[in-house]
């Protein structure tokens, strides 16, 4: 790759308890990454997952030298408010353990329409989910993710969106809690049409 | 903690309103239980018992389905102006998004009843909406809903009381004001809310003679389509203590 060292080596896509066991086993992937770190080839060790938040929490508890975790965080996920989507809990535990946090899917709007409605090659953005794409939406999503306390808000993959994300980051001036709740509430009702409610 | 309702979709507004209240182990009352959002929030926060009071059969069934497996919950079908609860029997009362559904006469009666059941030293949380700004388009939909409700039932469907007014109402019943916080600013009135309010307007209009009801139903549909989802206004949370 023409580089001397990897700054952050992330074990990618933790999904099952058995994988956590395999990674942390004596001869597991982490042992190899640690060897690489001892040799000076890797600086920091991280983990990515958009799976069960409890499993990510278990990883934070079990891997003493874990330095970062990467997981989804956006208003739609925050609005679910259940254990299956408790990435806020991951954020909290990571902070307690002084583990850095990288938030992905901050700009995700939802899944793409099925292939039957639109061919994959006709998608306007090179993301595997449909992103928000207006500057005001991108700014709201950035402000929300940053205000939740992430170490880093990860930009969406499509280069067309990155300049808008950088602009949002430049203008970032926090987002107060009442506004954060407002963004979450709007997502909660958009995403769960039943039962319809008169109130918040 | 026991129960199967922990963390099942408790809105952030509910969590923010309860965050600085002592819920753990307390006997609580959700006044106007809706779909049980506050009941779920109280259970999540470790309430000892929750009375979920509503006079609406569908709401009672919804709360029962959502939280009924938890043996700390009692769903009570009752008019909030006269509940079967004993005096001084509740340690924390929550009225989340309730008062805007009460006209002034009902508000007074419900405030008296919530005060009657509250034990010395108890807490009261009242969460509601400030009146919407004059230029908020969504006011037009609520105006149609209220017009249909006034004609059908002789009372408005919705009354948005300023925070300062509800503060004075409950202080008038002997509660000591503790704090106010903003839950939502702005308030997102989503497509889901708009369609629910349009349905409510049409339901009231449907109970009127056709010459009155039909134009109101058409107005509700037209206004809802015109207005579209918008974020405006403020939702607040007032907290009180009962001290004698």
Tens of pLDDT, residues B66-79: 999 999 999 999 99
B223, pLDDT greater than 90: yes
For A74, the token pair is 């956006």
Q: Touching check for B19 and chain A: CB below 8 Å?
A: no
Measured between beta carbons, the chain A residues lying within 8 angstroms of B193 are 189, 196-199
**CB–CB of B94/B42 below 8 Å?**
yes
Taking an 8 Å cut-off on Cβ atoms, the answer to whether B7 and A178 are in contact is no
Cβ pair B184:A189 closer than 8 A: no
Q: Could you say which of A78, A179, A198 has the minimum Cβ distance to residue B197?
A: A198
Q: What mean pLDDT is predicted for residues B112-120? A: 98
- The b/e string for B160-195 (b: 16+ C-beta within 10 A; e otherwise) is bbebebbbebbeebebeeeeeebbbbbbbbbebbbe
Q: How many CB atoms lie within 10 A of CB A96?
A: 9
Angstrom distance (rounded) from CA A158 to CA A154: 12
User: Sorting pLDDT into bands at 50, 70 and 90, what band is A37?
Assistant: very high
- Token reading at A13: 């896509």
- Using the predicted structure, report yes or no on whether residue A34 has a pLDDT greater than 50: yes
Q: What are phi and psi of A103, to 5 degrees?
A: -95, 120
For chain B positions 138-177, those within 8 Å of chain A (CB to CB) are none
B38 has pLDDT over 80: yes
| Average pLDDT of span A34-54 | 95
Q: What pTM, to 2 d.p., does this model score?
A: 0.85
Three-class secondary structure of residue B50 per DSSP: strand
Residues of chain B with Cβ-Cβ distance to A186 below 8 Å are 188, 190, 229, 231
Query: B 53-82 residues with CB below 8 A of A?
Result: 62
Q: State what percent of residues in chain B have pLDDT above 90.
A: 93
Interchain CB contacts (distance < 8 Å): A and B? 91
Chain A, 69-88: which have a CB under 8 Å from a chain B CB? 78-83, 86
Q: Which of residues 152-191 of A touch B (CB under 8 A)?
A: 176-186, 188-190
Span A173-181, average pLDDT: 97
A125 HSE (CA, 13 A, CB side)? 22
- Given a cut of 50, is residue B5 above it in pLDDT? no
Tell me the mean pLDDT in the region A119-135: 87
End-to-end CA distance of chain B: 33
Full strand arrangement of the beta sheet holding A68-72: A6-11, A42-48, A68-72, A100-104, A152-153
Query: How high is the pLDDT of residue B1?
Result: 36
Instruction: Specify the residue for token string 């004059």.
Output: B134
- C-alpha A7: how far from its chain's center? 19
Contact B9 A199 (CB under 8 A): no
CA distance B23 to chain A (A): 19
Residue A88: its chain B contacts at CB < 8 A? none
Chosen from B10, B62, B188 to mutate, greatest number of chain A CBs within 10 A = B188
- Which strand (E) or helix (H) includes residue A165? helix A159-171
pLDDT at B3: 36
Residue A163 near residue A131 (C-beta atoms within 8 A): no
Q: What percent of chain A has pLDDT over 90?
A: 73
Residues of B in contact with A79 (CB under 8 A): 11-12
Q: What is the pLDDT of residues A93-125, one digit of tens each?
A: 999 999 999 999 999 988 888 877 777 888 889
Which class in CATH covers the domain with range A6-192?
Answer: alpha beta
pLDDT surpassing 70 at residue A31: yes
- Residue A112 has a pLDDT of 84
pLDDT mean over B93-120: 97
In this prediction, residue A190 carries a pLDDT of 56
Of the candidates A63, A60, A48, the residue with the CA atom closest to the CA atom of residue A14: A48
User: Cα angle vertex A159, ends A157, A160, to 5°?
Assistant: 120
B7 and A190 within 8 Å at the Cβ level: the answer is no
Closest CA to B126 of B102, B153, B149: B102
Contact A196 B192 (CB under 8 A): yes
Which chain A residue has the Cα nearest residue B5? A82
Query: What pLDDT, on the 0 to 100 scale, is given for residue A200?
Result: 66
- For residue A198, give the nearest of B149, B68, B115, B65 by alpha carbon: B149
Answer with the residue of higher pLDDT: A129 or B236.
Answer: B236
- B11 contacts in chain A (CB < 8 Å): 79, 81, 184-185, 188, 200
Residue B210 CA to residue B205 CA, distance in Å, equals: 8
What pLDDT score does A116 carry? 76
- Look over chain B and give the mean of its residue pLDDT values, rounded to a whole number: 94
Whether B7 shows a pLDDT value over 80: the answer reads no
Pick A185's closest partner by Cβ from B11, B62, B182: B11
User: In which band, very low, low, confident or very high, does the pLDDT at B8 lie, cut at 50, 70 and 90?
Assistant: low
């Amino acid at each position: 790759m023409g580089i001397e060292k990897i700054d952050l080596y992330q074990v990618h896509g933790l999904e099952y308890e058995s994988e956590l066991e395999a990674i942390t086993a004596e001869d597991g992937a982490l042992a190899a990454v640690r060897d690489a770190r001892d040799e000076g080839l890797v600086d920091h060790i991280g983990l990515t997952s958009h799976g069960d938040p409890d499993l990510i929490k278990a990883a934070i508890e079990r891997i003493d030298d874990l330095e970062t975790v990467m997981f989804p965080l956006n208003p739609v996920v925050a609005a679910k408010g259940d254990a299956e989507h408790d990435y806020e809990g991951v954020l909290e535990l990571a902070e307690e353990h002084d583990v850095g946090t990288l938030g992905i899917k901050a700009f995700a709007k939802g899944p793409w329409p099925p292939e039957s409605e639109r061919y994959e090659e006709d998608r306007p953005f090179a993301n595997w989910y449909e992103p928000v794409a207006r500057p005001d939406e991108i700014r709201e999503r950035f402000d929300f993710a940053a205000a939740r306390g992430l170490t880093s808000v990860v930009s969406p993959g499509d280069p067309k969106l990155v300049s808008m994300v950088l602009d949002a980051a430049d203008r970032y001036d926090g987002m107060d809690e009442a506004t954060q709740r407002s963004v979450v509430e709007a997502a909660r009702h958009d995403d769960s049409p039943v039962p319809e409610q008169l109130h918040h | 903690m026991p129960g199967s309702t922990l963390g099942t979709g408790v809105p952030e507004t509910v969590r923010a309103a309860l965050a600085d209240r002592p819920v753990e182990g307390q006997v609580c009352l959700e006044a106007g239980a809706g779909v049980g959002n506050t009941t779920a929030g109280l259970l999540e926060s470790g309430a000892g018992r929750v009375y979920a009071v509503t006079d609406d059969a569908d709401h009672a069934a919804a709360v029962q389905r959502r939280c009924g497996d938890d043996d700390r919950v009692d769903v009570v079908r009752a008019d909030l102006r006269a509940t079967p609860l004993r005096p001084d029997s509740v340690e924390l009362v929550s009225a989340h998004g309730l008062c805007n559904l009460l006209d002034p006469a009902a508000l007074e009666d419900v405030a008296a009843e919530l005060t009657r059941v509250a034990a010395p030293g108890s807490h009261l949380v009242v969460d509601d909406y400030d009146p919407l700004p004059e230029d908020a388009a969504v006011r037009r939909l609520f105006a149609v809903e209220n017009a249909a409700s006034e004609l059908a039932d002789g009372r408005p469907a919705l009354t948005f009381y300023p925070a300062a007014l509800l503060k004075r109402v409950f202080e008038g019943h002997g509660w000591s004001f503790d704090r106010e916080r903003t839950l939502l600013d702005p308030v997102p009135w989503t497509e889901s809310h708009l369609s629910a309010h349009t349905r409510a307007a049409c339901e009231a209009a449907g109970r009127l003679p056709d010459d009155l009801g039909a134009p109101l139903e058409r107005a509700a549909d037209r206004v809802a389509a015109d207005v579209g989802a918008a974020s405006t206004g403020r939702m607040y949370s007032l907290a009180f203590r009962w001290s004698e």
